[in-house]
Chains A and B, each alone.
Chain A
């Protein structure tokens, strides 16, 4: 494995803008070719220019997860000014163009002022990009979700699991009460609802049951994502866990009671992301990607189509319209659909023809001290730093390099600097910023040791 050295991590820079004439998609394709990831299953460079870009609008959080990726400085930092957030949204647009998925995240983004959160979502929408809210859900009330929908939010991803140490919940099964409450909050809103779960030894045995919970709620839940616990920085779990991508895939299939093809379509590096698409009928899951060769053909032919994830009917109509214009693919699709319908006829009858869908995603983040060069270069999940987009895993290894820097702002025709430690605007650029980790703002490992991420990497 070709791991980045501590020096290389420090020297790793955000991506600059592509030269003129190189489209974002073309650039992504080139990255996939150079890292050996250009294959028929690859969506990056074919359907999309990037998987998604995280926009961290606050570093504050109201939970303290054992696998937290935030910096030990995070709780001591003030929110970056909204002008700086807008500038980063502009940069996302310049790098990847319209249609890009923007994860509005943090910390927990709902801790930002309500008005500012709405402004940010509306601004993303005004750029014709796709805004997704990534939250632990504690402050994501129905009223906030409604207002966010009105501002243009398209997805909400709730992160709920045992690593968050929510009081009174000792098992994932108990946490289903929280998940159910969140599902009810989002029900009926024009949102795609996702659930994120960190898979780690403490909940690994519960994953199949959790998958069954998501299947039972697939009328609202569209995607369940499992992220392998990784030592990304601040968390108190220092050892890389033994839970692997393969064992998590097996646990998902055990829960789904179906064989799912996780290799037919994905974006980025195959060791980082695995994706399967299930059709749910009468509580039973059917693999939509059962014929990879046909999936690849469809992926290539439909690369230009945009599916409305918030509106199931519109997405189906887009697909039907496409198939009617492509009789050959229509024939292939119809024969496979007929075959699937025949094999699932009993479930179809029992469900009176009602079918749903549920996607399964497995994210395999890298440890901050073991960053594989090839995977970092093929990354499909970027974080927008003040200087440009950077691979999420590399960013996690050096977060303070981007957090403990002043943001330059133009105010009333004057250049000012935002100091993230004091939260004040000042005329002179501050030299070196540092935070004091106190008992009040210390989270995770910081409460136990004063070691920084950078020191950790250098070991």
Chain B
């Protein structure tokens, strides 16, 4: 009983700590500033998906502009701007990635997202998406995952090294399917995300497959079957899966 009371107290204290991160100073533009986001990705992201955060900090107007727009406009409050499923999905992937990038700047460009930093980053410090206040955790789990597209996990990027590669171009509704298909193949082509050890008789894969297992299993009979849709070489069906510890170092160039 004492333990429950303590846990409830701690939960209240922690909940009381949740803070809202104010929108960037930039005035939100009227139309989607996708070109500004495209410039950020083109200028500050390299081919590995790593980010020049200090360069970005020195010249952050484009990112601030895009994030200010995300704060102001989203499918929930301006549905007319996002008529199709792909419009919504592309918006959410771009918005999530831009907010994560912006939060890294807000957090003082840390070297690593340690346990406390993760708590602040994903849960405590809230942002707004189309005027709706939420944590990055809630955004991913309660908004984006509900769109029922498992391949989004190869497009969403929280700026840690364990994340899928951040592409140097925005996701766009008109090419979205091809883009996330490409990112899924890219993801499983990288040794850090998928490798088979025949000596040990094991397959090692990213912890993302473990965390979001139910999303993948809603579209395939097993994780291995899902992986084999995209892996360059088929993974043996009889090898047990081991999950690679997530690399929480920030993806600095």
Contacts and interface: CB of A to CB of B under 8 A. Distances in A.
Interface of A: 82-83, 114-115, 118-119, 122-123, 126-127, 147, 151
A119 B109 contact: yes
Q: Which 7 A-B pairs rank lowest in CB-CB distance, beginning with the nearest? A: A126-B54, A118-B111, A115-B111, A123-B54, A115-B110, A119-B111, A122-B252
A151 B252 contact: yes
B55 A119 contact: no
Contacts, number: 24
B112 A115 contact: yes
A119 B52 CA distance: 12
B16 interface: no
Interface string B52-68: 10110000000000000
B111 A126 contact: no
Contacts of B110: 115, 119
Contacts of B114: 115
Contacts of A151: 111, 252
Nearest to A121: B111
B108 interface: yes
A192 B111 CA distance: 23
A147 B109 CA distance: 16
Indicate the member of A114, A122, A147 with the most B CB atoms within 10 Å: A122
Contacts of A115: 110-112, 114
Contacts of B55: 126
A117 to B, nearest CB: 9
Contacts of B52: 126
Contacts of B111: 114-115, 118-119, 122, 147, 151
A115 B112 CA distance: 7
A114 B249 CA distance: 13
Contacts of A118: 111
Given A122-B252, A127-B54, 20 more contacts: A82-B108, A83-B108, A114-B111, A115-B111, A115-B112, A115-B114, A118-B111, A119-B108, A119-B109, A119-B110, A119-B111, A122-B54, A122-B109, A122-B111, A123-B54, A126-B52, A126-B54, A147-B111, A151-B111, A151-B252
Contacts of B252: 122, 151
Contacts of A83: 108
Which secondary structure dominates chain A's binding surface? Answer: helix
A118 B111 CA distance: 7
Contacts of B54: 122-123, 126-127
B248 to A, nearest CB: 12
A115 B114 CA distance: 10
A63 B79 CA distance: 64
B74 to A, nearest CB: 25
How many B residues touch the partner, as a band?
10 to 19
A83 B109 CA distance: 11
Interface string B98-115: 000000000011111010
Nearest to A127: B54
Contacts of B108: 82-83, 119
B105 to A, nearest CB: 12
A181 to B, nearest CB: 26
A123 B54 CA distance: 7
Query: Residue among A83, A114, A119, A151 with the most chain B CB within 10 A?
Result: A119
A38 B54 CA distance: 37
A147 B250 CA distance: 12
Interface in B41-88: 52, 54-55
Contacts of A126: 52, 54-55
B97 to A, nearest CB: 21
17 contacts: A82-B108, A114-B111, A115-B110, A115-B111, A115-B112, A118-B111, A119-B108, A119-B109, A119-B110, A123-B54, A126-B52, A126-B54, A126-B55, A127-B54, A147-B111, A151-B111, A151-B252
A121 to B, nearest CB: 9
Nearest to A122: B252
Contacts of A123: 54
Interface in B196-252: 252
A439 B252 CA distance: 43
A34 to B, nearest CB: 35
A83 to B, nearest CB: 8
Nearest to B108: A82
Nearest to A413: B25
Nearest to B22: A412
Contacts of A127: 54
A126 B110 CA distance: 14
- Which of B110, B111, B112 lies at the interface centre, i.e. has the most chain A CB atoms within 10 A of its CB? B111
A114 B110 CA distance: 10
A129 to B, nearest CB: 12
A83 B252 CA distance: 18
Interface in B18-53: 52
Contacts of A82: 108
A151 B50 CA distance: 13
Nearest to B117: A115
A83 B105 CA distance: 12
A145 to B, nearest CB: 15
A394 to B, nearest CB: 31
Contacts of B109: 119, 122
A93 B239 CA distance: 54
> Which one of A82, A123, A126, A127 has the highest number of Cβ atoms from chain B below 10 Å of its Cβ?
A126
Nearest to B110: A115
A177 B109 CA distance: 38
Contacts of A114: 111
Contacts of A147: 111
Nearest to A83: B108
A119 B252 CA distance: 10
Nearest to A152: B252
A126 B58 CA distance: 10
